[in-house]
């Protein structure tokens, strides 16, 4: 098993480029728990961020590892929550299933938190589904010190609650 400290130093976070678009689609699709509509929505945000930059309201960063020769292994999409002061949403975070377990998701979250703080953000929110296939995702948020702030029963469908996780950044 690789040394986490060593492998973490080799993960590089950078801004989105047009060349990342198809790879992000592959990652979101390979995750296996997103519907076609959700994948289309993720890609709409990527398109908008590429066209308008941060004026779109979306900031997208990608994670690269040297062993994949510049091919990204994960990404995060976040931005300020409209009509709030210092509140940000983490809209999407996904890591290629083949690259999971190497700290890429944690490094992406840490990057998003640090960048959000540097922009004056004080609170980061993450929404997800309560469906069984999201249990690993829920566990990940809990391990990265996010608290379940709200649960809206049957939000996405009967038996599919909306979970809202939060973390104070200040």
Number of other residues whose CB lies within 10 A of the CB of residue 90: 23
Q: ∠ at Cα 41 (36, 46), nearest 5°?
A: 125
Architecture of domain 4-168: 3-Layer(aba) Sandwich (3.40)
Under DSSP, the state recorded for 7 is H
Tens-digit pLDDT profile for residues 113-123: 999 999 999 99
Angle between helices 36-52 and 21-30 (to 10 degrees): 160
Higher pLDDT, 11 or 166: 166
Tens-digit pLDDT profile for residues 24-71: 999 999 998 899 999 999 999 999 999 999 999 999 999 998 776 678
For the chain, what are the domain ranges? 4-168
Tens-digit pLDDT profile for residues 61-73: 999 987 766 789 9
> Does pLDDT of 87 surpass 70?
yes
Number of other residues whose CB lies within 10 A of the CB of residue 119: 13
């Amino acid at each position: 098993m690789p040394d986490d400290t060593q492998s973490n130093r080799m993960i590089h976070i950078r801004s989105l480029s047009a060349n990342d678009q198809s790879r992000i689609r592959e990652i979101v699709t390979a995750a296996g728990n997103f519907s076609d509509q959700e994948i289309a929505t993720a890609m709409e945000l990527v398109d908008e961020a590429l066209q308008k930059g941060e004026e779109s309201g979306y900031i997208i960063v990608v994670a690269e590892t040297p062993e994949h020769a510049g091919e990204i292994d994960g990404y995060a999409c976040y931005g300020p929550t409209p009509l709030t002061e210092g509140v940000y949403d983490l809209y999407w975070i996904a890591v290629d299933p083949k690259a999971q377990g190497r700290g890429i998701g944690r490094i992406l979250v840490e990057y998003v938190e640090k960048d959000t703080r540097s922009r004056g953000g004080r609170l980061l929110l993450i929404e997800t589904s309560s469906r069984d296939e999201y249990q690993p995702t829920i566990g990940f948020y809990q391990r990265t010190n996010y608290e379940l702030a709200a649960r809206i029963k049957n939000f996405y469908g009967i038996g599919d609650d909306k979970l809202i996780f939060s973390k104070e950044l200040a």
